[in-house]
């Protein structure tokens, strides 16, 4: 079943990419959902397409998306789609390339199929439970980076977050959380982290892709991520090769 769900997600993600690119670097009305929280016509158009297409194909699956009001119908559901129509909306609005469609199927709180598709970069990361992770159909694995490197926002390196001392590594950044996770899975970076509370739709697909590529994935306390929670947020996210993941968790939680 994860394989069939993955095929469905791949097909839907590619179609979503075609929709999004009609708005990218073109007319795209933008407004604010809240303080410094933009949303655009493209976000809603992609969300509508994915919701209608995926739930029609799997009517027994519940739905959770950044751009759909959460009516609570998913609570208690065994299987749910968890979707970010456009992860990296600010980058999308600015005409940059580092935005993605992040789609996952979660069963019993655990992602079993996931896709992160980046149309502007022609990158489609995918994974199904027990089947490994791929980029554009070719197998990928974490751990290929020559030197330790960490994808994280600059504030994450504030000493207050690191009672065990911040790691001495090269810091890099990408706007999309899903893309950061996939870059670890691809072996281009040793790890990534986000220390703030993190929405499930930002990380569900990336968490599976990382795990299937051989990386360790947890919240900032080192606990396993669980999805489709009543409040769909994780206590941060850390994805990295071992033993780098253990080192990061130890430094973050020393004492």
- CATH code assigned to 2-140: 3.30.540.10
* In the chain, domain spans: 2-140, 149-252
Strand 191-194 to 237-240 pairing: antiparallel
How much is the pTM?
A: 0.96
User: How confident is the model at residue 147, as a pLDDT?
Assistant: 83
Q: Which residues contact 25 (CB under 8 A, 6 or more apart)?
A: 95
- Say if CB 48 and CB 75 are below 8 A apart: no
Burial call 92-130: b when 16+ CB within 10 Å, e when fewer? bbeebbbbbbbbbbbbeebbbbbbbbbbbeebbbbbbbe
* Whole-number pLDDT of residue 81: 98
Between CA 200 and CA 232 the distance in angstroms is 5
pLDDT, position 139: 98
The secondary structure of the chain, three-state, reads CHHHHHHHHHHHHHHHHHHHHHHCCCCCCEEEEECCEEEEHHHHHHHHHHHHHHHHHCCCCEEEECCCCCCCCCCCCCEEEEEEEEECHHHHHCCCCCCEEEEEEEECCEEEEEEEEEHHHCEEEEEECCCCEEECCEEECCCCCCCCEEECCHHHHCHHHCCCCCCCCEEECCCCHHHHHHHHHCCCCCEEEECCCEEHHHHHHHHHHHHHCCCEEECCCCCCCCCCCCCCEECCEEEECCCHHHHHHHHHCCC
**What pLDDT shows up at residue 32?**
86
Cis amide prior to 243 (ω within 30 degrees):
yes
User: Which residues in the chain show pLDDT less than 50?
Assistant: none
Please tell us whether the domain made up of 149-252 is placed in CATH 3.40.190.80: yes
């Amino acid at each position: 079943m994860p394989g069939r769900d993955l095929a469905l997600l791949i097909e839907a993600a590619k179609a979503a990419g075609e929709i999004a690119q009609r708005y990218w670097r073109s007319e795209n009305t933008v407004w604010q959902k809240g303080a410094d929280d933009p949303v655009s016509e493209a976000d809603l158009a992609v969300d509508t397409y994915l919701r209608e297409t995926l739930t029609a194909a799997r009517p027994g699956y519940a739905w959770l998306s950044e751009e759909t009001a959460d009516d609570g119908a998913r609570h208690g559901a065994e299987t749910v789609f968890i979707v970010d129509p456009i992860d990296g909306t600010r980058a999308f609005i600015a005409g940059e390339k580092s935005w993605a469609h992040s789609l996952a199927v979660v069963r019993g709180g655990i992602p079993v199929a996931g896709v992160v598709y980046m149309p502007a970069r022609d990158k489609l990361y995918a994974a199904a439970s027990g089947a490994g992770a791929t980029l554009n159909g070719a197998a990928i694995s974490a751990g290929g980076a020559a030197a330790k490197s960490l994808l994280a926002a600059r504030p994450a390196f504030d000493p207050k977050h690191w009672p065990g001392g911040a790691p001495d590594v090269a810091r890099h950044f990408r706007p999309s959380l899903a893309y950061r996770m996939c870059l670890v899975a691809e072996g281009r970076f040793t790890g990534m982290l986000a220390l703030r509370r993190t929405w499930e739709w930002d990380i569900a697909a990336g968490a599976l892709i990382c795990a299937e590529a051989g990386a360790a994935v947890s919240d900032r306390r080192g606990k396993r991520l669980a999805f489709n929670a009543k409040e769909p947020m994780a206590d941060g996210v850390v994805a990295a090769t071992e033993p780098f993941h253990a080192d990061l968790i130890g430094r973050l939680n020393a004492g």
